[in-house]
């Protein structure tokens, strides 16, 4: 069974194997297909039309399936690899070990945002940006430039406290857990992290940066934590909603899996510790 671990606790061997598997998917062309798929949904998901990957209730199950596909691809290269997650409420500095040269590499230089160290730096020669929205073919970041602060644990807790999964109109204007986690409304969790990283992570082709997977693995974990806190709260809507993926409706592009099939992550993987990143309960009162 796959166990997803906090990136901060990976051994150097685990980091090395994760990076090598990612680079192999890049080399054989499979990586870029994920970037293309993501951008197609980013462009196609609209508040007033069909919406599946983003700004809709299926944001969470869609990304869960998307990450599963990627993780399976990694495991086809190295069966020992699983997706790590990045708890950005805890590891919230550009000096975090996440950004060290033995893992993802650091921020971009000021002149052009180019990442200059680590395995994904253009200078290392193994990470061309092929699926792109502009002419630049190198990985870029500007950690902490687009927005100064990553979300705090208390901001995360305020969103986890929301008992209703999602609400009409089931888009970026919705109240409820999903849209607050996605970030179109309220304290802004998921969207803000994309902006904090900057570079390609701020664009529709955000999976060009490998941190995309670690960010979404943590968003996915927060969904699991939310389920634990609200065992009586279900995925919504339950049926008959135009343009929106209902509980038992299959999702594009796979067309064989509904949100209902993805609600229980333990069918696919477990986490190192589902509540480990939660501070003493007394703090939250």
Partner 1 sequence: MPELSRRRALTAAAVVAGAPFAAATAARAAEPHHDAHGGSHDSPESFDEVYRGRRIQGRPATGSGHHHGGGYAVYVDGVELHVMRNADGSWISVVSHYAPVSTPRAAARAAVDELQGARLEPFPAG
* Listed ranges 6-14, 58-66, 124-132, 239-247: which one lies at the site for partner 1 (CB under 8 A): 124-132
Q: Considering only residues 130, 158, 233, 270, which one is a binding residue for partner 1 as defined by CB under 8 A?
A: 130
Q: Say how many C-beta atoms besides its own lie within 10 A of residue 118's C-beta.
A: 20
Q: Considering only residues 77, 122, 195, 260, which one is a binding residue for partner 1 as defined by CB under 8 A?
A: 195
146 CB-contact burial (10 Å; exposed 0-12 / middle 13-18 / buried 19+): middle
**CA-CA distance, 24 to 37, in Å (whole number)?**
19
93 vs 137 by CB, closer to partner 1 = 137
Count of residues that bind partner 1 according to CB under 8 A: 39
* Listed ranges 7-15, 95-103, 149-157, 203-211: which one lies at the site for partner 1 (CB under 8 A): 203-211
Buried b (16+ CB within 10 A) or exposed e, 195-231: bbbbbbbbbbbbbbbbbbbbbbbbbbbbbbbbbeebe
Q: Would you count residue 92 as binding partner 1 (CB under 8 A)?
A: no
Question: Among 68, 35, 37, which Cα is nearest to 201's?
Answer: 35
Q: In the bound complex, what is the minimum distance in angstroms from residue 197's beta carbon to partner 1?
A: 10
Residue identified by tokens 């299926």 is 58
Is 3 strand, coil or helix? Answer: strand
**CA-CA distance, 248 to 238, in Å (whole number)?**
7
16 vs 136 by CB, closer to partner 1 = 136
Q: Would you count residue 212 as binding partner 1 (CB under 8 A)?
A: no
**CA-CA distance, 189 to 59, in Å (whole number)?**
14
Q: Considering only residues 4, 63, 192, 221, which one is a binding residue for partner 1 as defined by CB under 8 A?
A: 192
Q: Which DSSP helix (H) or strand (E) runs through 4?
A: strand 2-4
261 CB-contact burial (10 Å; exposed 0-12 / middle 13-18 / buried 19+): middle
* Residues 1-60 close enough to bind partner 1 by CB under 8 A: 32, 35-36, 39, 42-44, 46-49, 55
Q: Considering only residues 79, 133, 161, 168, which one is a binding residue for partner 1 as defined by CB under 8 A?
A: 133
55 vs 63 by CB, closer to partner 1 = 55
**CA-CA distance, 259 to 256, in Å (whole number)?**
10
* Listed ranges 80-88, 195-203, 226-234, 273-281: which one lies at the site for partner 1 (CB under 8 A): 195-203
116 CB-contact burial (10 Å; exposed 0-12 / middle 13-18 / buried 19+): middle
Is 159 strand, coil or helix? Answer: helix
203 vs 241 by CB, closer to partner 1 = 203
Q: Would you count residue 270 as binding partner 1 (CB under 8 A)?
A: no
82 vs 208 by CB, closer to partner 1 = 208
* Listed ranges 16-24, 74-82, 88-96, 131-139: which one lies at the site for partner 1 (CB under 8 A): 131-139
* Listed ranges 19-27, 190-198, 246-254, 255-263: which one lies at the site for partner 1 (CB under 8 A): 190-198
- Residues in the site for partner 1, rule: CB under 8 A? 32, 35-36, 39, 42-44, 46-49, 55, 112-113, 130-136, 146-147, 169, 171-173, 183-184, 190-192, 194-195, 202-206
């Amino acid at each position: 069974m796959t166990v997803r671990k906090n990136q901060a606790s990976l051994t150097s061997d685990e980091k090395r194997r994760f990076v090598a598997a990612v680079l192999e998917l890049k080399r054989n062309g499979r990586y870029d297909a994920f970037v293309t798929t993501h951008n197609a949904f980013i462009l196609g998901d609209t508040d007033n039309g069909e919406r599946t990957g983003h700004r809709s209730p299926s944001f969470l199950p869609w990304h869960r399936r998307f990450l599963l596909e990627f993780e399976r691809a990694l495991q086809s290269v190295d069966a020992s690899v699983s997706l790590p997650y990045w708890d950005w409420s805890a590891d919230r500095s550009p000096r975090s070990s996440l950004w060290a040269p033995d893992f993802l590499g650091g921020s971009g230089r000021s002149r052009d945002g180019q990442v200059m160290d680590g395995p994904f730096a253009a200078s290392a020669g193994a990470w061309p940006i092929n699926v792109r929205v502009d002419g630049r073919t190198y990985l870029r970041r500007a950690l902490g430039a687009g927005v100064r602060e990553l979300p705090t644990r208390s901001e995360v807790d305020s969103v986890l406290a929301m008992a209703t999964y999602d609400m009409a109109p089931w888009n970026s204007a919705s109240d409820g857990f999903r849209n607050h986690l996605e970030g179109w409304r309220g304290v802004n969790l998921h969207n803000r992290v994309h902006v904090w990283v900057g570079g390609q992570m701020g664009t529709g082709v955000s999976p060009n940066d490998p941190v995309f997977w670690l960010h979404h693995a943590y968003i996915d974990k927060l969904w699991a934590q939310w389920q634990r806190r609200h065992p009586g709260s279900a995925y919504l809507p339950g049926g008959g909603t135009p343009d929106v993926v209902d509980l038992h409706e299959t999702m594009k592009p796979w067309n064989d899996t509904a949100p209902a099939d993805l609600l229980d992550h333990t069918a696919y993987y477990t986490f190192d510790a589902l509540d480990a990143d939660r501070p003493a309960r007394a703090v939250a009162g």
